[in-house]
Chain A
Amino acid sequence: MRGALDRLGRTGRFLWSAWSGLAALALLAALWQVGHEAYGDFILPTPLATLQAALDALSRPVTWDIALLTTGRALKGFVAAGLAGGAVGLAAGYSPATLRLARPLVTVLLGVPPIAWIVLAMIWFGSTDGTVAVTILVAASPVVFVGVAEGVMSRDRGLDAMARAFGAGGWKRLTTLSLRHVAAHLFPALVLALGSAFKVAVMAELLANVGGIGGELAKSRANLDVAGALAWVLIAVAALIAVEYGVVHPVRAEFERWRTAAQPWGVKR
């Protein structure tokens, strides 16, 4: 009962904090409006007009299918990147030799621009979902890898010794201590990876011509339809925000309750 109330309270606080987020977005809209008044309707339509265009688009079911297609692709790539980066990161954190081998590879992966991967993937896989998935995997997994490896390496050896003193084997120590510690490093990396998954998904769609939001953006460009393009950008950002604040942040809050407990009152609200 008390636990449920506590959870309700935290959910309420989480929702209430949306006001500050909304304030930041309103500030962005104000700057946008200034840009519109300086450069005119053709270069930059007003934020309200863009919002209207986005809402009009969303009233058509086909828009939802397109947005869901892109979101699905981004999520597929994100999950693949999370699993691959997480597994290799875990191995590297525990084995210095693996880390030494993996570090330069990560630098190489990060150094190659995503656009180059799209070109390569298009040659290898053609204009298919595979192109999008591979590009996201390559672009997003290094961040997760670095986060997890850092997490494992920075684990508290004192806690490890404590668990050993109480008879914990390697597997128990991994599941009860290390993974829990890694989670703290994993979530910021996941937020970054999710953002780049959406960005890369739209970019890959645009270049590989496989539909989705990227495909619609390509059409808007061909028609010089700035309002349409901005509306699609808005929809892509909304999809990212929905996934980040609907899935990643609630899961993170569940893991990081102790951190909130340590925060002073002013930071908490």
Chain B
Amino acid sequence: MNAATTPLELARVGHAYFGRTVLDRIDLAVGSSEVVALVGPSGCGKSTLVHVAAGIVEPLRGSVRRGYGRHAMVFQEPRLLPWATARDNIAYPLRIAGMRRGERQACAEAAAARVSFDAADLGKYPVELSGGMRQRVAIARALAVEPDFLFFDEPFTALDVALKRRMQDLVIEAARAARFAALFVTHDLIEAARIAHRIVVLDANGNGIAGQRPLPGEPGLRDDRAVFETVQRFLREDPLFRHIHDVDERKLA
């Protein structure tokens, strides 16, 4: 991979909270227009890693090199401003960027249309929206800035199965249309196998990358049977995924 075109490159990244090391010696690169799923057991530091990569947390060791223009992020919770309407929430990053009011409202409405958010609900406040609609707003907010890179931090964990699928399709569609690269943190292997080009498994103790597997085919073109069989093969035969469903409650931050 050519360094000049690599949108995101993490080199020897390590981080600790109050002296307790949660991440160490992480090397990870994401290619252009590539969606990488980052999986690992609960509490292994996936969230911290994506926060470091997105620049919310400064890593203690190592370096993060960003070759893309603009990034956006979708969190596990929608993280909407309770006092702003759906429209203003979607437009919030544009407001930070200093865009004029009329212009950013138009951008927000276009972004809402891209995630099939009903225009009639744009004037509602987050309290008036259902969980799925709130997460839709959060995705629209991320798409509104027209990012070259998207960070997802377990965005659909709290949604029910049907809604989850719809949201995944939405992300797959958006990634195919806008050709952004993405780092998608999840602990759901089916989700990873549907959305990503490549699965990266983080070590159970956050001690480096345990390994990675390319996924056959293109996201969005894989049928359910292929996705299911891939995941079954990973879980039954591949030692890399042996600890993926281990849970260490003490480490859940």
Contact = CB atoms under 8 A, between A and B. Distances in A.
Nearest to B145: A166
A64 interface: no
Nearest to A168: B96
B213 to A, nearest CB: 28
A125 to B, nearest CB: 42
Contact of A255 (B51, B56, B83, B97): B83
A49 B152 CA distance: 70
Interface stretch (A143-151, A157-165, A194-202): A157-165
A162 B55 CA distance: 11
B165 interface: no
Interface string A252-264: 0001111001100
Nearest to B81: A159
Contacts of A156: 79
A156 B81 CA distance: 10
Contact of A159 (B79, B97, B124): B79
Given A180-B83, A258-B84, A262-B127, A165 B77 contact: no
Given A159-B81, A162-B79, A166-B93, A262 B125 contact: yes
Given A159-B81, A261-B124, A166 B56 contact: no
Contact of A176 (B71, B96, B125, B128): B96
B165 to A, nearest CB: 25
Interface string A167-191: 1100010001100100000000000
Given A165-B56, A177-B81, A158 B125 contact: no
Max chain A Cβ within 10 angstroms of own Cβ: one of B71, B81, B145, B151: B81
Given A165-B54, A258-B127, A261-B124, A180 B81 contact: yes
A233 B20 CA distance: 64
A59 B124 CA distance: 48
B51 A161 contact: yes
A164 B55 contact: yes
A165 B51 CA distance: 8
A242 B97 CA distance: 41
Interface residues of A, number: 21
B95 interface: yes
Contacts of B127: 258, 261-262
Contacts, number: 59
A165 B84 contact: no
A257 B124 CA distance: 11
| Chain A interface, DSSP helix/strand/loop, else mixed | helix
Interface in B118-161: 124-128, 145, 151
Interface string B85-101: 00000001101110000
A167 B83 CA distance: 21
A176 B56 CA distance: 18
Interface string A237-268: 00000000000000000011110011000000
Nearest to B72: A166
B75 interface: yes
B72 A258 contact: no
B239 interface: no
B82 interface: yes
A161 B97 CA distance: 16
B151 A163 contact: no
Interface in B62-116: 71-73, 75, 77, 79, 81-84, 92-93, 95-97
Nearest to A159: B79
B125 A167 contact: no
A258 B151 CA distance: 29
Contact of B97 (A162, A167, A257, A258): A167
A192 to B, nearest CB: 22
A177 B75 CA distance: 17
Contacts of B124: 261
B96 A166 contact: yes
A159 B54 CA distance: 15
Contacts of B75: 158, 161-162, 165
Interface of A: 156, 158-159, 161-168, 172, 176-177, 180, 255-258, 261-262
- Going nearest first, the 10 A-B pairs with the smallest beta carbon separation are A262-B127, A165-B73, A166-B93, A258-B125, A162-B79, A168-B96, A261-B125, A258-B83, A164-B56, A161-B56
